[in-house]
A = this chain, B = another copy of it.
């Protein structure tokens, strides 16, 4: 078996050790004579799996006791609807637009209820920076303030300093306004102060596990506000009261996510991962910035993402060639999102430093040949 250098944006690379264990246990989990996806979700085996996954996630993210952890379906896209269905309670919500995903969230919220555009950083169709959080016109009476803390397509990330600035700005201008964040593409990439948020959600298929699983971390006081007519399954309160098993959960995806959580713990947890992730990203940005303009990343240096690094080459023909030759050289997933073109390398936890080094060598060779 040969593993490619996988830089996919999601679904994305999973740790090889996790895949090997899942493969070995696929038709006989812990000697029970069946795979974990072949047994009742209410039985002892799976109940243990989901409880352990939750406990490990709570440990990794230091999730306080007054937060519920929900294992849901529908991806972050369904959260774009589920958040306003559950939290608006007849009010308006504030939306900050910093890229394609926060844009989608805003559009969906406006379909469900009242959503207000607080600010957008779009300039000529591009999203390259974060706003000055201190000067945002927060609505003190809003149901919540929504943002996407890592824009996968545009490569814009809210780093820890900016997160603190945002939190301080809200605390000053609109105390108590719940912060709601789509963290799909950088959750678990670094330590997180969950207490700053009312609700955090993330599709699993980037830094958590297989697609088909969405994790929601929600403060208990925000439960029980769902609008009348909300489908039973989409009411956070119902799912919280039923330990995410109002109906059959996506059992295999939860099991694999649990293995990923153990893999992260064995590697020293999120502080250790953050150091590795920062260094991986630093190496790649240095290669881009040091390429004499052959490779370019246009994002404001202060909010360049450590997870998703888009870059361009001189012309679309050369970019197409880069993709094609990279695939021939054993790389996967380097083509940029169709909406923005170019190249994109996603450096999630399971993308090891040696994969980045291999990419840097390939980029050097490609530039030498075509620069």
Chain A residues engaging chain B, CB cutoff 8 angstroms: 1-4, 6, 8-14, 16, 19-20, 22-24, 26-28, 31-35, 37-43, 46, 73-78, 80-82, 85, 108, 111-112, 203, 205, 210-213, 229, 231-234, 246-253, 330, 332-333, 338
Instruction: Return A344 CB to nearest CB of chain B, in Å.
Output: 11
**Are A251 and B212 in contact (CB-based, < 8 A)?**
yes
**Are A253 and B38 in contact (CB-based, < 8 A)?**
no
Q: Which residue on chain B has the smallest CB distance to residue A232? A: B108
Q: Determine the chain B residues whose CB is within 8 A of the CB of A40 once the complex forms.
A: 8-11, 333
**Are B34 and A27 in contact (CB-based, < 8 A)?**
no
**Are A203 and B252 in contact (CB-based, < 8 A)?**
no
Given contact pairs A33-B332, A74-B74, A250-B250, A3 touches B26 in the complex (Cβ within 8 A): no
What 18 new A-B contacts, CB under 8 Å, besides A26-B26, A39-B333?
A: A4-B33, A8-B34, A11-B251, A12-B38, A16-B27, A19-B35, A34-B332, A73-B78, A73-B212, A78-B247, A80-B231, A81-B234, A82-B231, A85-B231, A111-B231, A205-B248, A211-B252, A252-B253
- How far does the alpha carbon of A20 sit from the alpha carbon of B27 in the complex, in Å? 7
**Are B38 and A11 in contact (CB-based, < 8 A)?**
yes
Q: Which residue on chain B has the smallest CB distance to residue A5? A: B33
Q: Determine the chain B residues whose CB is within 8 A of the CB of A10 once the complex forms.
A: 40, 248
- How far does the alpha carbon of A234 sit from the alpha carbon of B234 in the complex, in Å? 11
Q: Determine the chain B residues whose CB is within 8 A of the CB of A338 once the complex forms.
A: 42
**Are A250 and B34 in contact (CB-based, < 8 A)?**
no
Q: Determine the chain B residues whose CB is within 8 A of the CB of A210 once the complex forms.
A: 37, 250-252
- How far does the alpha carbon of A38 sit from the alpha carbon of B204 in the complex, in Å? 12
Q: Determine the chain B residues whose CB is within 8 A of the CB of A82 once the complex forms.
A: 231
Q: Which residue on chain B has the smallest CB distance to residue A250? A: B212
- How far does the alpha carbon of A2 sit from the alpha carbon of B28 in the complex, in Å? 7
- How far does the alpha carbon of A27 sit from the alpha carbon of B111 in the complex, in Å? 40
Q: Determine the chain B residues whose CB is within 8 A of the CB of A8 once the complex forms.
A: 34, 38-40
**Residue in B3, B77, B203 whose CB lies within 8 Å of A28:** B3
Q: Determine the chain B residues whose CB is within 8 A of the CB of A3 once the complex forms.
A: 27-28, 33-34
- How far does the alpha carbon of A46 sit from the alpha carbon of B333 in the complex, in Å? 13
Instruction: Return A275 CB to nearest CB of chain B, in Å.
Output: 24
Q: Determine the chain B residues whose CB is within 8 A of the CB of A1 once the complex forms.
A: 27-28
Instruction: Return A40 CB to nearest CB of chain B, in Å.
Output: 5
Q: Nearest 9 A-B pairs (CB), nearest first?
A: A4-B33, A212-B250, A81-B231, A77-B247, A19-B27, A73-B73, A23-B26, A212-B212, A37-B210
Q: Determine the chain B residues whose CB is within 8 A of the CB of A32 once the complex forms.
A: 4, 332
